[in-house]
Amino acid sequence: MASARQVNIAIIGVGGVGKCFLGQLSQLAKRRPSPKLVLSYISTSKKAVYSSDYAPIDIDDSLSTLAASSQAPLSLPDLVEYLTASSHKAVLIDNTSSQDIAEAYPSFLSRGISIVTPSKKAFSGSYQLWKNIFSAADKSGACMYHESSVGAGLPVISTLHDLVDTGDEVTKIEGVFSGTMSFLFNSFAPTSGSGGKWSAEVKNAKELGYTEPDPRDDLNGMDVARKLTILARIVGLEIESPSAFPVESLIPKELESVASGDEFLARLPEFDAQMDEVKAAAEREGKVVRYVGSIDVATKQVKVGLQKFERSSAIASLKGSDNIISFYTKRYGSNPLIIQGAGAGGEVTAHGVTANLLRVISYA
Amino acid sequence: MASARQVNIAIIGVGGVGKCFLGQLSQLAKRRPSPKLVLSYISTSKKAVYSSDYAPIDIDDSLSTLAASSQAPLSLPDLVEYLTASSHKAVLIDNTSSQDIAEAYPSFLSRGISIVTPSKKAFSGSYQLWKNIFSAADKSGACMYHESSVGAGLPVISTLHDLVDTGDEVTKIEGVFSGTMSFLFNSFAPTSGSGGKWSAEVKNAKELGYTEPDPRDDLNGMDVARKLTILARIVGLEIESPSAFPVESLIPKELESVASGDEFLARLPEFDAQMDEVKAAAEREGKVVRYVGSIDVATKQVKVGLQKFERSSAIASLKGSDNIISFYTKRYGSNPLIIQGAGAGGEVTAHGVTANLLRVISYA
């Protein structure tokens, strides 16, 4: 392998995941002499750093260089041209959750620019965009990797691809796909002890930083629905959108339209009795309630919502905010292949991005 | 991607895993037009099929073609020459557990021939062979993949490589690495109920095909020790051999030298009281006993043997003959990344081989 090989890296987004990724990229670039990893472009939505001769941007200083920069970001078509004009292979790292950037993936991929992203946007929107993205990648040979879009750095997407690509028959996928929902139900309905009131658990989770600023953005189930959409499409189901299957929202109808997350939290105790009854119903069967997503491949049924589980089951025994994903396949028979661990957090999400980048550069 | 690309495949070994792999390869070759997968060599230890012009061997008929063949296998140096003389990229699939073939890996790899194998032999023998193998692969750019050497098709090796290669700090690896030991202890010391007598469980496991013909080949712990050797080396520990760390054998000293597996089984009941005491000691702490392997990276301690676990722990709750592997890392914090599922069996072992082959050909 010639040491002259080089890969140009363009990064958009330096939020929580983006910052962790920069740290991992810095280590990686120091450890691996070949191919040479050159940061050639970095931007937020407001600022950017790049140069017409693709001069390497020092990774360790990139955030302060970016803060001091007076360059505006390139438009997406201009970024495609910028990366294509270099003689080196290029990778776009999209650490945003921007729908606009997601829509532009096909234009990068069709020009041979590989993309790595933890975002769900491109893969859980319209089915047409999904098709456009993967047909563009197929045609050009560019890589489109998004391991961290489901279960953060857990090897969920790569494992599912291996099962499908090697010809196994995936029959069912089931799991806890949201760190927030995991944390809430592990506290609200623990396998031993009685747990707290629902509204208190939601409040506590928000204070600990486990929820979105408005907890309704977790409780509506759409984050889980988007992840299920991605997995279902990988096994070959043509899911039109995350709204194309039943998703149980945990937002009481009466609180859907209250103005703020704070008002929502203030009024949530009015509905504790309803959630207590959900918990009690499970307890009467010796079970606990959990918020899960499942895909039944044969019947093409995808659904997201509350289900009861035996206390001794792997799903019930989950700890903290962990995710768990079970793949039932023909080869694996009655006991599924299970992957479990942290499914959110900056470092583990960035880990999936870095692992994907490693795969891209191994082809360089 | 030009459709003229071709990968020549050479297979040695058509036992249980080899037969399942042929089935998966047949499907794969039909589904993927590019690169063209050409079976160019197939052999047992006694017979082979190949031709000087690398004429494709029909995969579906390959076993009967092999049975009818009067060709002797090529010597390993001649096989290297045969595969190198073709203008196409070549992959050796070693579905044997031959030490001789393992010793020859460096000579294949240094000539650019990639290798995929489920065998542990090459990676759990001398540390010098390990170094020779991976330095040969590094220099030539050939791939050396062996996912199924630990946990069969479970994504254990690839996940550990991703953690290490992306710069995470693996602090501890712990798990149940033997399908046989898993089955034995899940029956002998279940989380609920009292389980059977040890000798009866071993006899039952043998009758169900879960043990080697002589169960002592499982009970000596060396299979687990070999797997731990592989994982420890991947995280950077220079383990000289599987005998370089403590391995607890479950063969009573008095039965180590009895002539046959049958005699061993006949006399095993004499030692049931000892194993009952092991079980009772765990029960007095409210725990169950399991046969596990662990690697403490900081202290470089590798060990294999019996340990007590809380009944609610993931290791205690394992089902059937499943494996479970927990990776504790800096990024994942207190809750490990866990992979669980069948760790033995023809189809799932072949799955790991096929997944590795897919990775090799994606570079072609």
- Chain A nearest-CA distance from B286, in A, is 16
> Rounded mean pLDDT of B216-243?
97
Q: Write the pLDDT tens digit of every residue in A87-117.
A: 999 999 999 999 999 999 999 999 999 999 9
Asked if the A157-343 domain carries CATH number 3.90.79.10, the reply is: no
The answer to the question of whether A236 is labelled as a binding residue is: no
The pLDDT value recorded for residue A132 is 98
Radius of gyration of chain B (CA): 22
> Rounded mean pLDDT of A264-292?
97
What percent of chain B lies above the pLDDT cut of 90? 94
Query: Cβ contact (<8 Å) for B351 and A162?
Result: yes
The pLDDT value recorded for residue B1 is 37
Stronger pLDDT, A136 or B314, i.e. the higher one = A136
Taking contacts as CB-CB distances below 8 angstroms, the residues of chain A near B340 are 314, 337-340
Query: Cβ contact (<8 Å) for B351 and A166?
Result: yes
The pLDDT value recorded for residue B4 is 63
C-alpha B336/C-alpha B295 separation (Å) is 14
Query: Cβ contact (<8 Å) for B332 and A341?
Result: yes
CB B304, CB B248: distance < 8 Å? yes
The answer to the question of whether A13 is labelled as a binding residue is: yes
The chain B residue lying nearest A329, using CA atoms, is: B348
The pLDDT value recorded for residue B186 is 96
C-alpha B288/C-alpha B279 separation (Å) is 7
- Chain A nearest-CA distance from B363, in A, is 6
> Rounded mean pLDDT of B88-110?
97
The pLDDT value recorded for residue B359 is 95
The pLDDT value recorded for residue A33 is 84
The answer to the question of whether B202 is labelled as a binding residue is: no
Closest CA to B24 of B363, B356, B322: B356
**Inter-chain CB pairs, A–B, below 8 Å:** 114
Q: Write the pLDDT tens digit of every residue in A173-199.
A: 999 999 999 999 999 999 988 899 999
Residue B198 burial (C-beta neighbours within 10 Å; 0-12, 13-18, 19+)? buried
Q: What residue segments make up the domains of chain B, in order of their start?
A: 3-152+348-361, 157-343
B172 an active-site residue?
no
C-alpha A342/C-alpha B134 separation (Å) is 32
> What CA–CA distances, in Å, run from A9 to A6, A55, A83, A93, A139?
10, 11, 9, 7, 21
Radius of gyration of chain A (CA): 22
The pLDDT value recorded for residue B288 is 97
Query: Cβ contact (<8 Å) for B355 and A322?
Result: no
- CATH label, A3-152+348-361, candidates 3.30.300.10, 3.40.30.10, 3.40.50.720, 3.10.450.50: 3.40.50.720
- pLDDT over 70 (residue A1): no
What is residue B113's three-state secondary structure? Answer: coil
Q: Write the pLDDT tens digit of every residue in A212-240.
A: 999 999 999 999 999 999 999 999 999 99
Taking contacts as CB-CB distances below 8 angstroms, the residues of chain A near B167 are 24, 27-28, 31, 354
Q: Write the pLDDT tens digit of every residue in B125-179.
A: 999 999 999 999 999 999 999 999 999 999 999 999 999 999 999 999 999 999 9
C-alpha A15/C-alpha A25 separation (Å) is 15
Closest CA to A172 of A163, A184, A181, A180: A163
The pLDDT value recorded for residue A4 is 62
Query: What pairs with residue B298 in β-bridges?
Result: none
The pLDDT value recorded for residue B3 is 42
Q: What is this model's ipTM?
A: 0.95
Extract the tokens encoding B37: 């997968």
Q: Write the pLDDT tens digit of every residue in B295-338.
A: 999 999 999 999 999 998 889 989 899 999 999 999 999 999 99
C-alpha A339/C-alpha B78 separation (Å) is 43
CA–centroid distance for A285 within its chain: 34
Q: Write the pLDDT tens digit of every residue in A112-126.
A: 999 999 999 999 999
A155 touches chain B (CB under 8 A): yes
Q: Which listed residue (B121, B203, B227, B308) is catalytic?
A: B227
Q: Write the pLDDT tens digit of every residue in A259-270.
A: 999 999 999 999
Name the phi and psi angles at B128, rounded to 5: -65, -40
C-alpha B40/C-alpha A143 separation (Å) is 29
- Mean pLDDT over the full length of chain B: 96
CB A360, CB A117: distance < 8 Å? no
Q: Write the pLDDT tens digit of every residue in B16-74.
A: 999 999 999 999 999 988 899 999 999 999 999 999 999 999 999 999 999 999 999 99
Amino acid at A2: A
Query: Cβ contact (<8 Å) for B339 and A342?
Result: no
C-alpha A315/C-alpha A311 separation (Å) is 8
B155 touches chain A (CB under 8 A): yes
